[in-house]
Structure 1
Amino acid sequence: MRRLPIDPFTQALLVTLALATVLPCRGPWAMAFDRVTDAAIALLFFLHGAKLSRAAVLHGMTHWRLHASVFACTFVLFPLLGLLLRPLMGVVLTPALTLGVLYVCTLPSTVQSSIAFTSMAGGNVPAAVVSASTSSLIGTVLTPLLVGLTVVTHSGGHGFSWHAVQDILTLLLLPFTAGHLLRPWIGGWVDRHRPLLRYTDQGTILLVVYTAFSAAVVEGLWKTTPPLALLATLGVDALLLALVMLVAWFGSGALGFARADRITMFFCGSKKSLATGVPMAKILFVALPGGLGGIVLPLMIFHQLQLMVCAVIARRFARNGDIASM
């Protein structure tokens, strides 16, 4: 496995998919995994709240034009592009994969990778910290509303429950707020044990992926998802990522941002969070016929795609290049 040209976490995701395909959890075991997963999700968002520095947020608010532009890419441009591409997706994707791509468009930005790529490329790291962290916080409220608009309006509401918004507040936003309020007492410990947060992120994602794909496999996911539809999902994800990256780079230039700020907008505005998206999908699409597998697949593909593309572009930026010269 170490010789494969993909990161260890992606390898773990592939192993989890294989395990859910061969040995899906059923009956009482599925109920038990659901309860464990809910507890892990609550812990995950509690730790994310404790990690968010209030001082960094207050300091970053002074650069409001940059943050507003990043949020516009994340929560306005992405959903609009998803809706514009929906007729194409309806032809080349299955209904579940189409909803999955629309769901990707509503998610907040990543935190760790946005900051890491911004730093690697020589961008404005403090601004990236604020934009990515605030995007994650806003997403716990805004993503369910955007999902409601896109899914209910354009898909007849299948699989989406407005009651799930209340569950989001209870399972995600409440632990996040509690963790942030307790940061003066536990923030130091969390900062010293950041690998713990990374492993909590990854462990929670693997748990949700296993339970989601187990249910989907039992419902016949692989029988209703042709291989060509998976390839088409990769193509649609790539098109979305390319369009947003181009708008973020050239739009930030038109707004007169300095190069470091343009890099921050480029990386923070084009990312979508797997760590937030997978747990949230478990709550938002609890009533989806056929399970969550088709919803989560486009997000997993987009996650790997954005990491590979951004790694190449960040190295290019670090050598004083830009997206126009690639």
Structure 2
Amino acid sequence: MFLRRFLPDRFTCALVVTVVLASVLPCRGTAASVFNVITDLAIALLFFLHGAKLSREAVVAGMTHWRLHLTVLASTFVLFPLLGIVLRPLLSPLVTPALYLGVLFLCTLPSTVQSSIAFTSMARGNIPAAICAASASSLLGIFITPLLVGVMLQSHGQGGMSWDAIGAIVLQLLAPFVAGQVAQRWIGAWVQRNRAMLSYVDQGSILLVVYTAFSAAVLQGLWKQTPLPVLGGLLIVNAVLLAVALLVTRYGARALGFNREDEITIVFCGSKKSLASGVPMAKVLFAGHPMGTIVLPIMLFHQIQLMTCAVLARRYAARPVEVRAQREVVEAS
């Protein structure tokens, strides 16, 4: 049971298999063009379904807890980008410049929705606030992430974000999302009933992007440019970013006077980065860049955050029981 919590889930295994497949059998030529079209359609469908799933009632109901939501958004869109820039002299020597560009992109991404809520629930946190905070982060990320990417690119010496890229975000991500919100009154109930089935759309679109991205990167010599020591360095970089974010959100929430349930929500919503949003956004924002090095940090961070937060959520959930047990021992003595 102890070892099982550290084992990768099926989706992570599928990601690994996809990377291996792209490394052995990369798509090229006409096949690559076909896969790119299919991937674009899958991404549009993904954001359409995200719009149809996002409950406006849940968002409105949770918006009254504005201090918590501002704290989560500050962690997601201010703390992480600052860490990426401030820690660059310390962390960038561990990886290649192309990989650290992927790390900077990781720092601009919104929080996850499903896992943030799931871990908050497991740890007995403020679930309605988690639903609102994670949903708001995902929605605002469509606007904020491209702007932050422009700033990050300038800090990395690669120029700002073009209007073409911003237009592509609006057309490929925001427009389907808004269409999903409009269609929610007709298909929202069906989407909620079939969330388990529709999760395959989320995962399938990510796998498609990963396959096409790594196929192109392998053809450009990704693995020759990324030896095992560099992959180890990337693991350290991601672990440092997550550890700092967890510590700042935990003790920052306490310093700001939040109760235990709100602290749990801030920790799990403010320390996450969304693979589901990040991979499609990378395809749009980094057209012309070596995509494999952009999405590799996100994929690795995804697994690290799941493993770490699973253990942390169990510790949060067990703490009240431990406190009661200690009180009983003191009273008995």
Q: TM-score, normalised by structure 1?
A: 0.95
SS, match of residue 88 in structure 2: helix
User: What is residue 120 of structure 2 aligned with on the other side?
Assistant: 118
In structure 1, distance between residues paired with 2:299 and 2:320: 29
User: What is residue 206 of structure 1 aligned with on the other side?
Assistant: 207
Q: Which runs of 5+ in 1 are unaligned?
A: none
Amino acid at match of 1:122: R
- Confirm or deny: 8 A CA contact 2:210 2:279 kept in the other structure: yes
Cα offset, 1:165, TM superposition: 1.2
Cα offset, 1:246, TM superposition: 0.6
Q: Which runs of 5+ in 2 are unaligned?
A: 322-333
User: What is residue 22 of structure 1 aligned with on the other side?
Assistant: 24
In structure 2, distance between residues paired with 1:5 and 1:242: 20
In structure 1, distance between residues paired with 2:88 and 2:31: 37
In structure 2, distance between residues paired with 1:226 and 1:243: 26
User: What is residue 101 of structure 1 aligned with on the other side?
Assistant: 103
User: What is residue 325 of structure 2 aligned with on the other side?
Assistant: none
Amino acid at match of 1:241: L
In structure 1, distance between residues paired with 2:155 and 2:14: 35
User: What is residue 135 of structure 2 aligned with on the other side?
Assistant: 133
Q: Deviations over 1:215-265 (max 9, x none)?
A: 000011011112111111110100000101111011111111111000000
User: What is residue 169 of structure 2 aligned with on the other side?
Assistant: 168
Cα offset, 1:92, TM superposition: 1.7
Cα offset, 1:77, TM superposition: 0.2
In structure 1, distance between residues paired with 2:135 and 2:231: 31
SS, match of residue 118 in structure 2: helix
Q: 1:321 to 1:296 in 2, by over 3 A?
A: farther
Could you say what the CA RMSD is over the residues aligned between the two structures, in angstroms?
Answer: 1.5
Amino acid at match of 1:312: V
In structure 2, distance between residues paired with 1:27 and 1:242: 42
In structure 1, distance between residues paired with 2:301 and 2:89: 20
Q: TM-score, normalised by structure 2?
A: 0.93
SS, match of residue 62 in structure 1: coil
In structure 2, distance between residues paired with 1:272 and 1:197: 21
Cα offset, 1:190, TM superposition: 0.4
Q: Count how many residue pairs are aligned between Structure 1 and Structure 2.
A: 317
In structure 2, distance between residues paired with 1:106 and 1:184: 32
Cα offset, 1:321, TM superposition: 6.3
Amino acid at match of 2:66: W
In structure 2, distance between residues paired with 1:35 and 1:106: 26
Q: Deviations over 1:172-194 (max 9, x none)?
A: 01100110111111100000000
Task: Single out whichever of 63-72 and 178-187 deviates more from structure 2.
Answer: 178-187
Cα offset, 1:154, TM superposition: 2.2
In structure 2, distance between residues paired with 1:254 and 1:302: 27
User: What is residue 191 of structure 2 aligned with on the other side?
Assistant: 190
Q: Deviations over 1:239-294 (max 9, x none)?
A: 00010111101111111111100000000000000000001000111121xx2001
In structure 1, distance between residues paired with 2:200 and 2:320: 34
What are the equivalent positions in structure 2 for 1:31-42 lying under 5 Å apart?
Answer: 31-42=33-44
Between the two proteins, what is the percent identity of the paired residues? Answer: 63
Q: 1:220 to 1:162 in 2, by over 3 A?
A: farther
In structure 2, distance between residues paired with 1:196 and 1:50: 14
In structure 2, distance between residues paired with 1:257 and 1:321: 17
User: What is residue 303 of structure 2 aligned with on the other side?
Assistant: 304
User: What is residue 12 of structure 2 aligned with on the other side?
Assistant: 10
Amino acid at match of 2:301: F
Hey, which bits of structure 1, 4+ residues long, moved more than 4 A? Answer: none
Cα offset, 1:156, TM superposition: 2.1
- Confirm or deny: 8 A CA contact 2:53 2:191 kept in the other structure: yes
Cα offset, 1:308, TM superposition: 0.2
- Confirm or deny: 8 A CA contact 2:43 2:173 kept in the other structure: yes
- Confirm or deny: 8 A CA contact 2:110 2:145 kept in the other structure: yes
In structure 1, distance between residues paired with 2:154 and 2:305: 28
User: What is residue 326 of structure 2 aligned with on the other side?
Assistant: none
User: What is residue 233 of structure 1 aligned with on the other side?
Assistant: 234
Does residue 180 in structure 1 map to residue 181 in structure 2?
A: yes
SS, match of residue 7 in structure 2: coil
Amino acid at match of 1:265: I
